[in-house]
Amino acid sequence: MHSHRIDNRLKMHQVELSYLLSPQRSADALIRNPLMDMLHAVRQQGSIAKASKSLGLSYRNVWGALKDGERKLGRGLLVWDKGQRAKLTEFGEKLLWAERQAQARLAPQIAALRSDIERAFASAFDDSAHVLTLYASHDAALSALQAHTSQTGLHLDIRFMGSVDAIVALNAGRCALAGFHTLDQPGRKTLAASTYRSLLKPGQHKLIGFAHRTQGLIVAKHNPLRLRTLADLTRADIRYVNRAFGTGTRVLLDQLLAEAGIAPGAIAGYALQEPSHTAVAQAVASGSADAGLGIEAAAQQSGLGFVPLVDERYHLVCLKSELDTAPVQALRSGLQSEAWQRLLNELPGYSALGARSGEVLSLRAVLPWWQYRSPARGNMGQTL
């Protein structure tokens, strides 16, 4: 009987989505909802008047919308005490947290939805525009690149997914490029080597330089629990949030744990998974987890702390047969531009230095997993 009442309450409130065509869009990945924007502004500003000003709306408009929201939801959203700092009710806080958490978890799907719609309009408005489909591990620099290249007539149709699935999609012909990442100095006998060796082949695939980035622990602001290393994750008071199996960050974590001699079972929350760096950061920001492995940009975006652990090279890979196509050539040109180099260096935790952005790189030179010694002839060996 009780669960039936809960189901009926959930069915009362449905979600409708819409979109606008605009020359530019906001930098965040949220699907805009006016009520949630107002609640967030009131929470940040401490008054309806200041929230109205920050949103560029009238006090009457915001006040009326909040009251209307309470009427439709049947719950109080704000504590309406005159002369006191405006604050959200417990329900208002839970509602805002639930909406932001859902958006963080769905950020890759939201980005893909936008790409689908933008791709359709790109073809409709400009027949000369290039469209390039890219399946890739979740990355803040790729989102920035998408906005950057759109101004030059190159539309990146990005689908965020695990590194392994992205390369599998490339090999199946579902995309022109795939994005994955490895340690800056990858070892030959590592989990990354065994994961990617069977998927990437010299002579068949070509790497395109993209970016250097740092991965580390996303923690609460000012790092109150004083987390410094992966070994700290085994403490009894720490709750971890993981990335999904098949993602590059999960491969990285398991590799680092193996090197440190740490059993995954020793980490509380190892089985708890989130689909993106943004969702990991949101889990920490909400207090449902104390730490998660991710990129600095996601931590900074959520106002959290960051403990750098390792440097990575983010790779773009394409089939050799696709290298000379017009869209790939346009991408390479954009990656080598001074404007993109400056933009990349401005992203928290990213660097263009040594990344050789836009250059075609040899798999054998960058990833030494295919180098081996042939059977020795006498005392002589040959490195291939």
Query: Exposed, middle or buried by CB within 10 Å (0-12, 13-18, 19+), for 244?
Result: middle
Contacts of residue 204, defined as CB under 8 A and 6 or more positions apart, other chains included, come to 319, 320
Q: For the chain, list the domains and their CATH numbers.
A: 32-105 (1.10.10.10), 108-370 (3.40.190.290)
> Within a 10 A sphere around the Cβ of 108, how many other Cβ atoms?
19
In the numeric block, the tokens 């090279």 are attached to 313
Tell me the range of 30-39, 66-75, 90-99, 280-289 where mean pLDDT is highest: 280-289
Residue predicted with more confidence, 376 or 120: 120
Read off the pLDDT of each residue in 104-130 and give the average, rounded to a whole number. Answer: 76
- On average, the pLDDT of the chain sits at 87
Read off the pLDDT of each residue in 222-229 and give the average, rounded to a whole number. Answer: 98
Residue 210: pLDDT over 80: yes
Read off the pLDDT of each residue in 140-152 and give the average, rounded to a whole number. Answer: 90
Please, which pLDDT band fits residue 128 given cuts at 50, 70 and 90? low
Query: Could you tell me which residues are beta bridge partners of residue 128?
Result: none
pLDDT in tens, 63-91: 999 999 999 888 999 987 776 788 899 99
Could you tell me what percent of the chain has a pLDDT over 70?
89
Residue 204: pLDDT over 60: yes
pTM above 0.75, yes or no: no
DSSP string, 258-323: HHHT--GGGSTTTT-EESSHHHHHHHHHHTS-SEEEEEHHHHHHTT-EEEEEEEEEEEEEEEGGGT
